[in-house]
A and B are shown apart, each in its own frame.
Chain A
Amino acid sequence: MASPLPLHLAVALDGAGWHPAAWRLPDARPSELLTAGYWTDLVTEAERGLLDFVTIEDGLGLQSSYPDRLDGRTDQVRGRLDAVLTAARIAPLTSHIGLVPTATTTHTEPFHIAKALATLDYVSLGRAGWRVQVSGRPDEAAHFGRRHIPQLKIEDFTDPAVLAFVNELFDEAADFAEVVRRLWDSWEDDAEIRDVATGRFIDIAKLHHIDFEGPRFSVRGPSITPRPPQGQPLVTSLAHSTIPYRLGARAADVVYITPADADIARATVAEIRELQAEAGRAEQTVHVFADLVVFLGDTDAAAAAGRARLEELAGAAYASDAPIFTGTPQSLADQLLAWQDAGLTGYRLRPATLPGDLHAITRGLVPELQRRGAFRTAYPGGTLRSLLGLPRPANRYATV
C-alpha cells in the first residue's frame, strides 16, 4: 500500500468543548473559561500534538443554540473573551502552532482588524491567521445601533429575502477581506530604510494608499502597522453552501466545509475549485478542510457511552452543522484517510469535550496517524503559511 499523503490537522477551540453539556464533566474547568491559564493549557496541549493550528471561536453577542437570535438558556456556557486577544495572550507562550482567532466582518472596522491580525503575526513570529465570520443576528446589530438587520429564518435559503440578505453579508465580508489583504501589503517589506545619511526612516515610495471604495466602506490606508512576518497571515472561512464557498474561493487560504460523507466532500471540493478559477485564483493553493465534531473513546462503546452521557445531561440528542464522529482515534484515523481521496487536504476537528477529546486527538489520533506515515513527527520550523505549504506571497504593490 502506498503511504498516504500527509494530513493537516487543526482543532477548533470553543468554551468547554462543542457539546453544550461538556462543561459538566468532571475534568471540565467551567469556572476558568475567562482565564489565560485555561487557554494556555489547551493550546500548549495542541502544540504538543504537533497540530497545524487552533481556531478560537468568537462572536459579538452571547452564545446561543439558535443561529439567528438569543435563546435565554442558563444551562450552557455563556460569556467569552475576545478571540484575537486570547490568541495574542498565548502567542509568546507557544512557538510552533498557528493561532487562528475568529473576527467578525459585519459591524467592525477592516482597518482595526487588519492591524490586529498583523500584530498577532508579529507577536507570534509568523503564526497568525483569521477565521472570517459574518453576523446575521439582529441582537448583535443592536449592540452597535448603526444598522438594521432583519429577523429572518437565516437557514431558509428558499426565501429570497434570506438569500439577498446572506449575499449582502458575504459580499461585505469579501470586500472586508480584500481591504485587510491590501492593508497587509500597504507597506512593502523593505519600506523601512533607516537611512542616516538622508535622515529618512522610510522610503515613502514603498508605502501605498489602498484606496478601496465599496458600498459599505471606503478605506484610504496605508496601515499603521508594517507588513507582517508572513506577508499575508492565513485567511480561513467556514462554508456550508455556495454563497460562503464563493467567499472562501475568493478570499481564503483554507476553507472549512461540513460534508455528510465522502461523496458530498468530493462534490464540494469540485465546486470550490470551480469558484476559485472563476475568482482568478486557480494557480493558488486553497486548502479545503472538513470540519468534524469528535466524540472519542478508547473503544467504540466507551465513545458512544461518553456521547450518551452528555446527551442525557443535555436532555437532547446532539446535532451539529458539521458531520459527527463517534468512536476510537484509530477508526477516526481510518475515516480521515479515507475521505482524503475526496480532495480534502486536512481537517478541523471540533472536540466535543475539553480537555478530554483534545487529549484523545493529541495523544491518540496523532500517534495513530504518525504510525501510518500520515502526520508529521516534528514541527519543521517556520511560519504557519509554510507549515501549510503556502508561499510567502509577493506584495501586490511591489514594482520590482
Chain B
Amino acid sequence: MTKPRRQIHLGAHFPGVNNTTVWSDPQAGSQIDFASFTHLARTAERAKFDFFFLAEGLRLREQRGRIHDLDVVGRPDTFTVLAALAGVTTRLGLAGTINSTFNEPYEVARQFASLDHLSAGRAGWNVVTSWDAFTGENFRRGGFLAAEDRYRRAEQFLRTAGKLFDAWRGDEIVADKDSGTFLADAGAGAFTHRDDQFDITGQFNVPRSPQGRPVILQAGDSDAGREFAAATADAIFTQHNTLEAGRAFVGDVKGRLARYGRSHDELLVLPSATFALGDTDAEAQEKALLVRRQQVSGQTALRFVEHVWNRDLSDHDPDGPLPEGDPVVGENTIARGRASVRQIRDPLATARKWRELAEAKKLSLREVVIAVTGRQTFIGTAATIADQIDDLVQQRAADGFILVPHVTPGGLDEFADQVVPLLQERGSFRADYETETLRDHLGLPPVRSRP
C-alpha cells in the first residue's frame, strides 16, 4: 500500500501595497473596489483554496519624510471587507491581519466572533505586532510599546481574547418560547483577566461562534515571533519558501512545539509564494523577468537601496553603481511604516553582499535590486509549477502556500485554471470542499478551550 500523499493547503493573498503588485499592467484593476475582492475570492473558492488572505498596515508608508507614492496605496478595513466577502462565498476561509498593539482585546474578540458567526465558521486571524510610534500617531494611546514588549503584549492579547472566545460555552442560549427562558445562565459570557497589559472584567456579548475562535496565523520571523507561533498559532505565514530554507524553518518551528505540549500537525507552515506561468518553461522565464522589471523600476530600486543604506539617495542614478560608503546604522529613519525594513537585521552585511554581487556580475543598482529581491518562487509551465509545489510539500518544506498574485484582481485566474487541476489529479489537493469550517479545511485538531 502506498503512503497517502500529504495534502497541500492554499491561501489567496489579495495583492498588497508593495512594489510586487504591478499597478501599471493594463490588466490591473482597482485595489479598493469591492468587485476586485469578490473576483479574487471567487477565483480562490472556485479552485477550492483553503482561504482568502488580507494584509494590513495602519499608517500610510513614508519615505524621505513623504508618503511613498510609487506603490499601490489604499486598503479597506480588514473585518468589514471579510464580512462582505462572507456574503459572496460559501466555503472559502476568510483570514485577515489584525494588529495586537493598536487594538483592544474586547473589541477584536467581538469582531472575530461576529465574523465567525456571519461566515458560519470561516474566520482566520493573522496576529501581527507592528508597534512603531509612527503608526501609533493614528491611535488614542500612541506608540506606547517598546520593541521588546511587542510579543509580550501580543501573547497577552491573544490569551485575553482566548478567554473572551471561551467565555460562552455554547449551550447558554435555549430560547424556549414556552417557558420564556432565553438564557440558561444569567452569568453567560462572564470573564476576568488581569496581567501587566490588560485588566478587564465583565460579560462578553457575542455568544460562542461556530469555530469557537478564529484560526490563528502568525507572521513574525524573529526568535520571539517563532516562539509566539509555537505557543499559540495554528499556522505560520513565512517567507522561507525554498526547499532548504523551508525545511530548516519547518524543523525549527515544529521543534519548538513539544515545549507547549503540542504535536507537529498542530502548526502549519505556509510560506508566501509568487509565480510566473507560461506555455513553455522558457516563456515563463521571460515573463518572470518582464514582471520583475515592472516591479522594480529605477525609482523603486533607489528606494530599496535607501532601506539598506538608511539615507536619502535621490541624487543617485539607478542605472549607475550602488552608493559609495556604508549604510547609516542604527534606527532606520528613511522608511517608515514598513515591516520589511525591520527584517534587514544587519545592513552592513547586506550592503557588503550586494556590492560583491554587483562587482561579480557587473550589475547596476537597479539590476542588483532586481536580483536580490523577491524573484518569483515558482516559474514554469503549469506542470512544472505543480511539480515544484507538490515536491516542497511532500518533502516537508511547507504545508502549503499563500499565493500572492502580482496583478489585482485577475492574477490568480490562470493558476486556478491550470495549476490547481494538476495538483488535484495527483491527489495532493482537494477536488472539492469536504469540510465546512476553515479549521477543518486546514485539518487542524478541534479547539482546546479553557487551557
Residues of A bordering B, CB below 8 Å? 21, 23-26, 28, 30-31, 34-36, 40, 59-63, 70, 72-82, 84-86, 88-93, 107-109, 111-112, 115-116, 118-120, 122-123, 125, 139-140, 142-146, 187, 192, 194, 196, 199-204, 207, 216-222, 224-226, 313
By beta carbon, the residue of chain B nearest A21 is B180
- The 8 A CB mask of B250-270 against A (1 = contact, 0 = none) is 000000000000000000000
Task: Tell whether, in the assembled complex, residue B202 and residue A115 are in contact, meaning their CB atoms are under 8 Å apart.
Answer: no
Give 3 nearest A-B pairs by CB, closest first. Answer: A123-B84, A30-B175, A82-B114
Given A88-B81, A123-B34: A194 in contact with B87 (beta carbons within 8 A): no
Task: Tell whether, in the assembled complex, residue A79 and residue B189 are in contact, meaning their CB atoms are under 8 Å apart.
Answer: yes
Task: Tell whether, in the assembled complex, residue B73 and residue A75 are in contact, meaning their CB atoms are under 8 Å apart.
Answer: no
By beta carbon, the residue of chain B nearest A210 is B138
A139 smallest CB distance to B (angstroms): 5
B101 smallest CB distance to A (angstroms): 12
A59 to B115, CA, bound (A): 16
By beta carbon, the residue of chain A nearest B168 is A79
Which chain B residues lie closer than 8 Å to A31 at the CB level? 173, 175
A165 to B39, CA, bound (A): 48
Taking each of B38, B57, B83, B299, which has the highest tally of chain A beta carbons within 10 Å of its own beta carbon? B83
Query: Which of A78, A218, A222 is within 8 Å of B183, CB to CB?
Result: A78
- The 8 A CB mask of B96-138 against A (1 = contact, 0 = none) is 0000001110110011001101111000000000000000011
A82 to B73, CA, bound (A): 28
Given A107-B104, A112-B77, A226-B74: A81 in contact with B118 (beta carbons within 8 A): yes
B432 smallest CB distance to A (angstroms): 23
* B59 CB–A CB distance under 8 Å: yes
* B27 CB–A CB distance under 8 Å: no
- Secondary structure call for the B interface: loop
Which chain B residues lie closer than 8 Å to A220 at the CB level? 59, 137-138
* B58 CB–A CB distance under 8 Å: yes
Give 30 A-B contacts (CB < 8 Å), ordered by A residue: A35-B117, A36-B86, A60-B106, A73-B183, A78-B183, A79-B168, A81-B114, A84-B80, A85-B80, A85-B83, A92-B34, A92-B38, A92-B88, A108-B107, A115-B76, A119-B76, A140-B202, A143-B201, A143-B202, A144-B104, A145-B199, A145-B201, A194-B24, A199-B24, A202-B67, A220-B137, A221-B138, A224-B57, A224-B75, A226-B32
Task: Tell whether, in the assembled complex, residue B77 and residue A118 are in contact, meaning their CB atoms are under 8 Å apart.
Answer: yes
Task: Tell whether, in the assembled complex, residue A199 and residue B299 are in contact, meaning their CB atoms are under 8 Å apart.
Answer: yes
A70 to B190, CA, bound (A): 12
Task: Tell whether, in the assembled complex, residue A89 and residue B106 are in contact, meaning their CB atoms are under 8 Å apart.
Answer: no
Query: Which of B75, B77, B86, B102 is within 8 Å of A89, CB to CB?
Result: B86
Which chain B residues lie closer than 8 Å to A199 at the CB level? 24, 70, 297, 299-300
Which chain B residues lie closer than 8 Å to A61 at the CB level? 202-203, 205
Which chain A residues lie closer than 8 Å to B173 at the CB level? 30-31, 79
Report how many A-B pairs have Cβ atoms within 8 Å: 225
* B244 CB–A CB distance under 8 Å: no
A73 to B119, CA, bound (A): 29
- The 8 A CB mask of B314-325 against A (1 = contact, 0 = none) is 000000000000
* B72 CB–A CB distance under 8 Å: yes
Which chain B residues lie closer than 8 Å to A23 at the CB level? 175, 177, 182
Task: Tell whether, in the assembled complex, residue B140 and residue A79 are in contact, meaning their CB atoms are under 8 Å apart.
Answer: no
In the complex, how many residues of chain B place their beta carbon closer than 8 angstroms to a beta carbon of chain A?
Answer: 73
* B343 CB–A CB distance under 8 Å: no
Task: Tell whether, in the assembled complex, residue A142 and residue B201 are in contact, meaning their CB atoms are under 8 Å apart.
Answer: yes
B27 smallest CB distance to A (angstroms): 13
* B223 CB–A CB distance under 8 Å: no
A9 smallest CB distance to B (angstroms): 25
- The 8 A CB mask of B19-31 against A (1 = contact, 0 = none) is 0000110000000
* B60 CB–A CB distance under 8 Å: yes
Task: Tell whether, in the assembled complex, residue A79 and residue B139 are in contact, meaning their CB atoms are under 8 Å apart.
Answer: no
A187 to B199, CA, bound (A): 37
Task: Tell whether, in the assembled complex, residue A224 and residue B205 are in contact, meaning their CB atoms are under 8 Å apart.
Answer: no
Task: Tell whether, in the assembled complex, residue A79 and residue B77 are in contact, meaning their CB atoms are under 8 Å apart.
Answer: no
* B148 CB–A CB distance under 8 Å: no
Task: Tell whether, in the assembled complex, residue A225 and residue B205 are in contact, meaning their CB atoms are under 8 Å apart.
Answer: no
Query: Which of A89, A109, A122, A222 is within 8 Å of B139, CB to CB?
Result: A109
Task: Tell me which residues from 169 to 208 in chain B have a Cβ below 8 Å from any Cβ of chain A.
Answer: 173, 175, 177, 180-186, 188-189, 198-203, 205-207
* B155 CB–A CB distance under 8 Å: no
* B33 CB–A CB distance under 8 Å: yes
Which chain B residues lie closer than 8 Å to A107 at the CB level? 104, 107
Given A36-B87, A72-B186: A187 in contact with B205 (beta carbons within 8 A): no
Task: Tell whether, in the assembled complex, residue B138 and residue A219 are in contact, meaning their CB atoms are under 8 Å apart.
Answer: yes
B75 smallest CB distance to A (angstroms): 5
Given A31-B173, A61-B205: A122 in contact with B33 (beta carbons within 8 A): yes
Taking each of A34, A40, A194, which has the highest tally of chain B beta carbons within 10 Å of its own beta carbon? A34
